[in-house]
Structure formats: structure tokens, C-alpha cells
Amino acid sequence: MIRVSCILSTLIVCILIGHVIGIQLTVSPDYILGGNPLALNCSVDHDVNIETFVTFSKDATLIGYIQNCKENGITSCSSTPKCHCDSNSEYHILNFIWNYTPSNENMIDATFGCTLDASESVIRVKKAELSNVTVSPALSVFTATESATLENIICTALCWPECSFQWTGPNSFIYNGDILRLSNIQKSSSGLYRCRATNVVGTNYSNFFEIRVQLFTYTVHVCV
């Protein structure tokens, strides 16, 4: 028997003894967070029998298999939340789904795989993360003249999945986005500001910084 392993996260085609088998593994959601379930969906050609033997692995270690649409060949997937089998007649695809919940300990990136006979599809899934939040330029005080524009103050955090950013300030000020821009700034805008970044991990905040708005001054020349 010729064994051809396919190691791609996109749709792959494996040629086995003259027969073409398509197999694709997707993982939802696309991040690892302790205690948060992952659905490993192994999609294969519709002409593969539903009674086939599909295995699932994490970092090359077996975590379970579906045989005859049964969890580890014992309990029907229709009677357990651990697995599921269905078909998509429109696209001629069979879906074998294994539900896996990572522990809260040693959360790191992981490689998940599914195999069917000699065909394999793998995908790398990153751990969820949220770093400290920083503001640049890294100043504790920004100054601006009344009626001017203060811009290009940037909020940064290392996030997976992506973060949403929000700025807060005096007088219930709220601004959404990672780049703060204040146009036609007024004296009432003086005060303390900070940025927060939020994703599935939680919320982190930057240090406070101050914006000082100075009154616009006019120079009057008197001719005598």
C-alpha cells in the first residue's frame, strides 16, 4: 500500500492506489482557551462510507476516533455530545466532528489532525492571548492648543484572537479604535485618559496619561 500523508490546513487531495480522496480538518473556534470547547471537523469525500474509521489527534497523540459513527467505536454519536456525523449532499461531503475541551493547564499552541485510512490533514491552532497594553508615543503628558487636533496616539497589545480597543477619558469620554484622534479639542478635554484592549481572554488597560489643553493666545499689536 502506498501511504501519502498530507499536511496542510487547506483542502488537500491524497492519491491512494489510484483513488482520489479529499480530506480537510477545520477547528472552531480558531484559538485555544482552557475550558473552552473546540469542534474538530474532518470533512471527507461523500463517496467514503459513513462507517469509515476516522481518528483525531493533538500533537500526534490520539484523542479519540469515530467508527461506524460511534464515539471510540462504542457509543453512538447521536447519543453523546463528544462526536457528530452528518453529510452535505450539495457539496458531496461527509463531516466527522469531534468535540475536544483543552485543560486550563499548560495552554500552548497545538497541532490537531484527522486521519482517514492513509490520508491526513493537520492544522495549527494558536493559544488565546492578551498582552499588556501600551500607548505610543510613550508620554505621560500630551499638550495641545484649544481648537487644534491631537492625533496619532496609538494603543497596542498582542492579541489572539484580535482585540477591540476603546479609549476612555474625562466627562464620560469614549472613543473606539486603536488610534486616538481628537479634533477641535477644547479646554474641557483636559484630563486623564487610558486605553483598554479586550478579547476572549479578558480586558487589559494601559497606564493613564494626561492631556493638557492650553488656551489659544492672541498677540495684539497696538500702534501709537
Are 212 and 192 in contact, with CB atoms under 8 Å apart? no
115 confidence band (pLDDT: 50, 70, 90) = very high
Are 15 and 4 in contact, with CB atoms under 8 Å apart? yes
75 and 112 assigned to the same domain: yes
Residue 155 lies in a domain: yes
36 and 122 assigned to the same domain: yes
Question: Which of 126, 149, 170 delimits the end of a domain?
Answer: 126
Rounded CA separation 170/17 (Å): 70
Residue 2 lies in a domain: no
102 and 148 assigned to the same domain: no
Residue scoring higher pLDDT (122 or 2)? 122
Closest CA to 171 of 155, 148, 150, 187: 187
What pLDDT shows up at residue 220?
Answer: 53
Residue scoring higher pLDDT (190 or 4)? 190
Lowest mean pLDDT among 88-97, 100-109, 130-139: 88-97
pLDDT tens for residues 67-85? Answer: 988 999 899 999 999 999 9
What count of other Cβ atoms lies within 10 Å of the Cβ of residue 217?
A: 7
Residue 103 lies in a domain: yes
Residue 167, domain extent: 130-214
162 confidence band (pLDDT: 50, 70, 90) = very high
CA angle at 139 for the pair 133 and 144, rounded to the nearest 5°: 120
109 and 170 assigned to the same domain: no
Residue 90 has pLDDT above 90, yes or no: no
Residue 197 has pLDDT above 50, yes or no: yes
Are 203 and 132 in contact, with CB atoms under 8 Å apart? no
CATH number at residue 191: 2.60.40.10
- Mean pLDDT over each residue of the chain, to the nearest integer: 86
20 and 97 assigned to the same domain: yes
Residue 112 has pLDDT above 90, yes or no: yes
- Burial of 166-201, coded b for 16+ CB within 10 Å and e otherwise, reads bbebeeeeeeeebebebeebeeebbeebbbbbbbeb
What pLDDT shows up at residue 9?
Answer: 38
Work out how many domains the chain is built from and give that number.
2
What pLDDT shows up at residue 45?
Answer: 78
**Model confidence, pTM:** 0.78
45 and 119 assigned to the same domain: yes
What pLDDT shows up at residue 32?
Answer: 96
Residue 98 lies in a domain: yes
Are 121 and 42 in contact, with CB atoms under 8 Å apart? yes
154 and 53 assigned to the same domain: no
Question: Which of 126, 150, 175 delimits the end of a domain?
Answer: 126
pLDDT tens for residues 31-51? Answer: 999 999 999 999 987 666 656
Rounded CA separation 184/20 (Å): 65
103 and 157 assigned to the same domain: no
105 and 43 assigned to the same domain: yes
Rounded CA separation 144/198 (Å): 29
- What are the distances in angstroms from CA 92 to CA 40, 88, 95? 19, 6, 10
89 and 184 assigned to the same domain: no
Question: Which of 126, 143, 167 delimits the end of a domain?
Answer: 126
Name every residue whose Cβ is closer than 8 Å to that of residue 99 and which is 6 or more positions away in sequence: 37, 38, 39, 40, 81, 82, 83, 84
Residue 79 lies in a domain: yes
Residue 126 has pLDDT above 80, yes or no: yes
Lowest mean pLDDT among 8-12, 98-102, 160-164, 193-197: 8-12
Question: What residue type is 12 in one-letter code?
Answer: I
Cell numbers 476572549 correspond to: 200
What average pLDDT does the segment 194-199 reach? 98
> For residue 196, what is its C-alpha cell?
483598554
Name every residue whose Cβ is closer than 8 Å to that of residue 113 and which is 6 or more positions away in sequence: 25, 56, 57, 58, 60, 120, 121, 122, 123
Residue 207 has pLDDT above 80, yes or no: yes
Residue 1 lies in a domain: no
